[in-house]
Amino acid sequence: MKKYTYLTLLALLTLGFTTSASAMTEKQLASKKKYFLKFDANKDNALSEAEYIEMTRIQFEKKSKPGWEQEGAKRFKRNDTNSSGAVTFEEWISNQK
């Protein structure tokens, strides 16, 4: 198991994550982490608002849905639970439905 997987699992346990996140397997968590980090352009292990909105744009374009900019900003604010100006993987995964 990779080092970040242990750290991620520990962080999730500490945060008291949602039922859906707790039901994920280690492989699913690793896959989600890889997806999340794909949008981390500056490699700081967190998504800025611009990076988060880009992730939302890609998700919306796959479904041909409009309104990705507004929805991305809304999701960013909801997921930045500590108001740091960046969304960490732990914050993001704890808000997954």
pTM of the model: 0.72
Residue 7 has phi, psi (to 5 degrees) of -65, -40
29-71: per-residue pLDDT in tens? Answer: 999 999 999 999 999 999 999 999 999 999 999 999 899 999 9
CA-to-CA dists, residue 37 to 55, 64, 78, 80, angstroms: 10, 23, 19, 16
71-88: per-residue pLDDT in tens? Answer: 999 999 999 999 999 999
Decide which of 3.30.1340.10, 1.10.238.10, 1.10.4080.10, 3.40.50.920 is the CATH code for 3-94. 1.10.238.10
CA-to-CA dists, residue 72 to 32, 54, 63, angstroms: 18, 8, 15
Through-space distance between the first and last CA atoms of the chain, rounded to whole angstroms: 25
Q: Model confidence at 9, in pLDDT bands (50, 70, 90)?
A: low
User: Which neighbouring-strand residues pair with 47?
Assistant: 87
